[in-house]
Amino acid sequence: MATTEHHDYPLDHVHRWKDWCALVGVHPVTGWRWVQAGKGPVITKLSARLIGVRHRHHLAWLAAREQDSAA
């Protein structure tokens, strides 16, 4: 799952929600279910109706998923 495309962004870059879901290969509804279940990344609120994921939180989320799968 780890590809160079996950590392080509500055840490403070914010992926819009649909872009982040496309990056990890899931439907936006599935991604939102992960967030609601406490299994998703930290969400950054961009406006009243727009959310995203800061790249540093994306990388931390990926690392946590790798640790969970290794256990």
- What is the model's pTM? 0.83
Confirm whether 7 is domain-assigned: no
Confirm whether 5 is domain-assigned: no
Confirm whether 58 is domain-assigned: yes
- Segments forming the whole domain that contains residue 35: 12-70
How does residue 67 score in pLDDT terms, banded at 50, 70 and 90?
confident
Mean pLDDT of 7-23: 93
C-alpha distances out from residue 23 to 33, 42, 48, 51, Å? 17, 15, 23, 15
Q: Which residues contact 69 (CB under 8 A, 6 or more apart)?
A: none
pLDDT at residue 26 greater than cutoff 80: yes
Provide the domain count of the chain: 1
